[in-house]
Amino acid sequence: MSDPKTTFTGYARYRATGQLAFLLHRITGLGILLFLLIHIVDTSFVYFAPELYDHAIQIYRSLPFMIGEIFLVWAVFYHGFNGLRIIIFDLWKPEWWEKDIAVKSVYWVLVLSILAWLPAAFIMGKAVIENHFLGG
Ligand code: HEM
């Protein structure tokens, strides 16, 4: 059975690349969760407080939010790919946790997540430039 303390002691259990993968997985997981929770609340404003809903949409159109959303897309790709890596290793290939393969797989996940993210980042980045810098 899993020990709740592992949630905290986990911070000290990996080294170098594994620690980076673990931290990114936690940060992206919590980041996506935070965004989802906020988004459920602000979308509910359309029914409960329409005047606040318009305000929320304005915030989403601001420069920091639009840039944040581009990184949110990367966070979803990274968390998804890394989550699949963990699931595959844990369920079917525990011997792949052996250091060399595990370290290489972290880099593969990083490369894949960036490649999958680039088209969306390009389209969203174009919208940022058009809306905020070209007055479109
Ligand atoms: C694309 C589908 C997803 C996959 C394949 C996936 C996979 C996983 C896996 C395997 C873990 C456990 C990691 C471990 O054993 O250390 C995990 C943790 C977690 N996931 Fe996901 N996940 C997905 C989507 C999401 C979404 C949409 C959210 C947020 C709404 C989320 C939030 C979290 C959080 C907060 C954790 C805990 C992280 C930690 O304890 O460090 N995940 N995910």
pLDDT given at position 136: 54
Q: Is residue 33 part of a domain?
A: yes
Rounded-to-integer distance, Cα 1 and Cα 77, Å: 29
The answer, yes or no, to whether any atom of ligand 1 lies below 6 A from the CB of 101, is no
Smallest CA-to-CA distance from 29 within 70, 64, 81 is with: 81
Which whole-number Å values give the CA distances from 25 to 41, 98, 116, 135, in the listed order?
A: 24, 19, 17, 37
pLDDT digits (tens, 9 = 90+) for 75-94: 999 999 999 999 999 999 99
pLDDT value at 130 more than 90:
yes
Question: Of 79, 84, 113, which is best to mutate to test ligand 1, by the most ligand atoms within 8 angstroms of its C-beta?
Answer: 79
Q: Is residue 31 part of a domain?
A: yes
The answer, yes or no, to whether any atom of ligand 1 lies below 6 A from the CB of 68, is no
Domain total of the chain: 1
The parent domain of residue 64 ranges over 14-132
Query: Ligand 1 center to residue 32 CA distance, Å?
Result: 9
CATH number where 59 lies: 1.20.1300.10
The answer, yes or no, to whether any atom of ligand 1 lies below 6 A from the CB of 116, is no
Q: Which residues contact 130 (CB under 8 A, 6 or more apart)?
A: 136
Q: Is residue 7 part of a domain?
A: no
Region 42-61: what's the mean pLDDT? 94
Widest pairwise Cα distance in the chain: 57
Q: Is residue 99 part of a domain?
A: yes
The answer, yes or no, to whether any atom of ligand 1 lies below 6 A from the CB of 88, is no
Q: Is residue 29 part of a domain?
A: yes
Q: Is residue 52 part of a domain?
A: yes
Region 112-136: what's the mean pLDDT? 94
Percent of the chain with pLDDT over 70: 88
Q: Is residue 1 part of a domain?
A: no
- Model confidence at 1, in pLDDT bands (50, 70, 90)? very low
Q: Is residue 36 part of a domain?
A: yes
pLDDT digits (tens, 9 = 90+) for 22-44: 999 999 999 999 999 999 999 99
| Alpha carbon nearest to ligand 1 atom 3, residue | 80
